[in-house]
Amino acid sequence: MIFKVFSKKELPRLFDVIAVNRVVGPVQKGTNKDGNPLHTFEEVRDFAELSLDYKTTILSAKRFVLPFHETLCTFRVTENGWEKDVDFNVRGPTVFFGLHACDINAFNRLDKVLMESVYPTPYYASKRKNMFIIGTNCEPQPYCFCRSMGTDTALHGFDLFLTDIGDRYFAEVQSATAYNFLLQIKTADPKEKDHQRYIDVVAEKNRKFTAHVDNTDLTKILDMEFQSRAWKEWGDKCLSCGTCASVCPTCYCYGVEETVDMNAAGARKTKSLHSCNLIDFAEVAGGHNFRPERHSRLKYRYYHKHRGFVEAFEESLCVGCGRCGEACLADITVPEVIASVRGEGH
Amino acid sequence: MDNRLPFVDIMEEGGTHRRHDDIGSFEYTYKAEIMNIYPMTANEKLYQIQIIEPDRRNRFTFQPGQFVMLEIPGVGEAPFSISSSPIRHGFVELCIRNVGNLTGFLARMQRGAQIGIRGPFGTQFPVGEMEGSDVLLVAGGLGIVPLRAAILTVLENRSRYGGVDIVYGAKTPSELLFTYQYDMWRKFDINLSIIVETPDDTWKGPTGFLTRILEDRVAQAGANFAAGTYAIVCGPPVMFKFVCGMLTRAGMPMQKMFVSLERRMHCGRGKCCRCNIGSTYTCLKGPVFDYWSIMNLKEAI
């Protein structure tokens, strides 16, 4: 791997070099009731719009690759029947300026099921393959448990990763394109004291984690505790609103709906992201629902994230960003649910 | 019971090019024509569907137990088990109950209409592996629909199988499906038993649950039953527990019993998650599972 350091003053220049492309980054959208800033990922045109010191965003960057609604295809009525026109809805390359490690890892994990398994989906791949990612380091928040999920650092899945080491950035360069961009600003090779400063910054970050999840034998424990009372208790609190799935950087399940155009000359097939907590998730024609109770749906969500995905890909689908717990109206958080299922605090 | 582990020959699995890996065909739909519609009961019709384009029709093959997504542009798409023999390429028979939005629309369609099909998807009944063995096919209600693909395959390759038993149960005589084929199946050396829960005035056969017939079968079975028989069980989930439990007690190994599960599906390709059982995709690892896999799936049955 190639490392560089550059002065903080150089970052706006790097932005200008890159900004001939569409750039998406963290911007402040407003403030919450306590006056704290709320951030979101938006398209930006000026470096000044970016809030690179953001703590987290309410919605993840998922929507740029998995839009909440997406037209999968359209149909045209023709003389002999119909024709199907497929469009993967890709807008060309996009630079993601300032993703945290959890969100980079979220894309890496989505890749496994959406791109690297059987039936790779072109709707995802077309956008994913058009991402240029600049990662930035972050400060653990009370809800962050990425360290437990092995996602507090990103090993791959970015072009450039910047760590703030005081007056300068310590940059990991993982693509030739990123290297070429860096040639256009003033950089230097890191010295021994830069290495030491980087190690200190990471060590300091690691000391700040307060939320943890014990993943030891979790796949087995989830099976053993399938009938645990804890599920029922969390299920009674759950509002089945699906907010957790909306804010989650790795929830990818969806529903498909077809509609006829108003002029009846065509139709379209639309994919909408869904949530396994919504009541109709597993309901079949005729009305039978395989998961009619709230707790069975909530439990399923944990099964998919923390058991099924681990079985299939040797790592959890949850990246520990903590967004679901922050957004949950019923105060259901992953660390608490898993601790209770493990029998801690009961 | 023979406890020796079977030898797994990895060379048998092969490594042919699969449509699975082709990113370009993800959203591909075969244009197909409804060639004929055969009303079978008050609620179910048999749709004969043929892929229109001759080249694609010839290349379209499937295995018994697999399903297709049937798409009506502007209305929607849904998964249906193929009910016909795999011998005819690009031609499928789907037996569909009028129960929801899509199937309600389909019930009003006429032959000659153009629809779409995608697939085939999912796992299959191990009809090849079953060769040389006795075969016990158990269907409850609509379960006869996926099972019929296996029945026809066995019939078309009759010399390769030992005794073939079908046990089929329905709620009432008027709900029996494929009645026009029973004589033929019997004449082609299949032992077909049919039982209904609630008889009508015309019914002369046995009444009750199909487990009644099955109990007799198991009781009459010779020493070879446990070791030399494969079973396929299709029907409502509640039936699996009773039937597979009974067969397990009779000594049949779990990996020789196969069931076909039904779930909601929006893609058929392991992406939408709607069909997940616990966290297993029914569309990829199923719909056909052996009973051992089912035992290991939470909330499967």
Per-residue confidence at B16, pLDDT binned at 50, 70, 90?
very low
Number of separate domains in chain B: 2
For residue B284, how many other CB atoms are within 10 A of its CB? 20
CB contact under 8 A, A285 and B103: yes
B228 shares a domain with B267: yes
In a domain, B139, yes or no: yes
User: What gap in Å lies between CA B181 and CA A284, rounded to an integer?
Assistant: 29
CB contact under 8 A, A256 and B271: no
Q: Is B56 on the interface with A (CB under 8 A)?
A: no
Asked if A318 and A333 count as a contact pair (C-beta separation under 8 A), the reply is: no
Structure tokens at B95: 């037996």
What is the helix (H) or strand (E) element at residue A244, kind and residue range?
helix A243-247
- Nearest-Cα residue of chain B relative to residue A307: B279
Parse chain A into domains and list their residue ranges: 2-341
B164 shares a domain with B23: no
CB contact under 8 A, B271 and A113: yes
In a domain, B269, yes or no: yes
Helix (H, G, I), strand (E, B) or coil at A98: strand
What's the Rg (C-alpha) of chain A?
A: 22
User: What gap in Å lies between CA A257 and CA B264, rounded to an integer?
Assistant: 13
Residues of chain B contacting A308 with CB distance shorter than 8 Å? 276, 278-280
Q: Which residue has the tokens 């502007």?
A: B74
Would the pLDDT of B134 be above 70? Answer: yes
Q: Which of B23, B99, B280 lies at the smallest CB-CB distance from A308?
A: B280
User: What gap in Å lies between CA A99 and CA A97, rounded to an integer?
Assistant: 6
CB contact under 8 A, B21 and A120: yes
- Nearest-Cα residue of chain B relative to residue A84: B29
For residue B101, how many other CB atoms are within 10 A of its CB? 13
Q: What is the CATH number of the domain that holds B116?
A: 2.40.30.10
Helix (H, G, I), strand (E, B) or coil at A229: helix
In a domain, B5, yes or no: no
Amino acid of residue B13:
E
B291 shares a domain with B144: yes
| Full DSSP string of chain B | ---PPPP--GGGG-----GGG-GGGTT--EEEEEEEEEE-SSSEEEEEEEESSHHHHHH----TT-EEEEEETTTEEEEEE--S-TTSTTEEEEEEE--SHHHHHHHT--TT-EEEEEEEES----TTTTTTSEEEEEEEGGGHHHHHHHHHHHHHTGGG-S-EEEEEEESSGGG---GGGHHHHHHTT-EEEEEESS--TT--S-BS-HHHHHHHHHHH--TTHHHHEEEEEES-HHHHHHHHHHHHHTT--GGGEEEE-----SSSSSSS-TT-BTTB-HHHH-SEEEHHHHHTSTT--
In a domain, B156, yes or no: yes
Q: Is B266 on the interface with A (CB under 8 A)?
A: yes
Amino acid of residue A213:
V
User: What gap in Å lies between CA A114 and CA B281, rounded to an integer?
Assistant: 13
CB contact under 8 A, B73 and A82: yes
CA distance A45 to chain B (A): 33
User: What gap in Å lies between CA A154 and CA A321, rounded to an integer?
Assistant: 13
What is the helix (H) or strand (E) element at residue A113, kind and residue range?
helix A101-114
B146 shares a domain with B62: no
In a domain, B164, yes or no: yes
CA distance A131 to chain B (A): 18
Residues of chain A contacting B75 with CB distance shorter than 8 Å? 258, 260
Query: What percentage of chain B has pLDDT greater than the value 70?
Result: 93
Stated pTM of the model: 0.90
What range defines the domain where residue B194 resides? 134-295
Residues of chain B contacting A267 with CB distance shorter than 8 Å? 73-74
In a domain, B13, yes or no: no
> At a CB cut-off of 8 Å and minimum separation 6, what does A225 contact?
A231, A341, A342, A343
B102 shares a domain with B194: no
Q: Of B120, B148, B163, which closes a domain?
A: B120
Question: Side-chain half-sphere of A131: how many Cα atoms within 13 Å?
Answer: 29
Per-residue pLDDT of chain A (346 residues; tens, 9 = 90+): 899 999 999 999 999 999 999 999 999 999 988 899 999 999 999 999 999 999 999 999 999 999 999 999 999 999 888 999 998 888 888 999 999 999 999 999 999 999 988 999 989 998 998 999 999 999 999 999 999 999 999 999 999 999 999 999 999 999 999 999 999 999 999 999 999 999 999 999 999 999 999 999 999 999 899 989 999 999 999 999 999 999 999 999 999 999 999 998 999 999 999 999 999 999 988 888 999 999 999 999 999 999 989 988 999 999 999 999 999 999 999 999 999 999 875 4
Q: Is B200 on the interface with A (CB under 8 A)?
A: no
CB contact under 8 A, B78 and A296: no
User: What gap in Å lies between CA B139 and CA B232, rounded to an integer?
Assistant: 8
In a domain, B90, yes or no: yes
Per-residue confidence at B249, pLDDT binned at 50, 70, 90?
confident
Q: What is the CATH number of the domain that holds B264?
A: 3.40.50.80
In a domain, B7, yes or no: no
Per-residue confidence at B10, pLDDT binned at 50, 70, 90?
very low
Q: Is B31 on the interface with A (CB under 8 A)?
A: yes
Long-range pairs for A116-120 at CB < 8 Å and ≥24 separation? A117/A312, A117/B270, A118/B18, A118/B20, A118/B21, A118/B269, A118/B270, A118/B284, A119/B20, A119/B26, A119/B269, A119/B270, A119/B271, A120/B21, A120/B23, A120/B26
Q: Is B270 on the interface with A (CB under 8 A)?
A: yes
ipTM, two decimals, is 0.88
B238 shares a domain with B172: yes
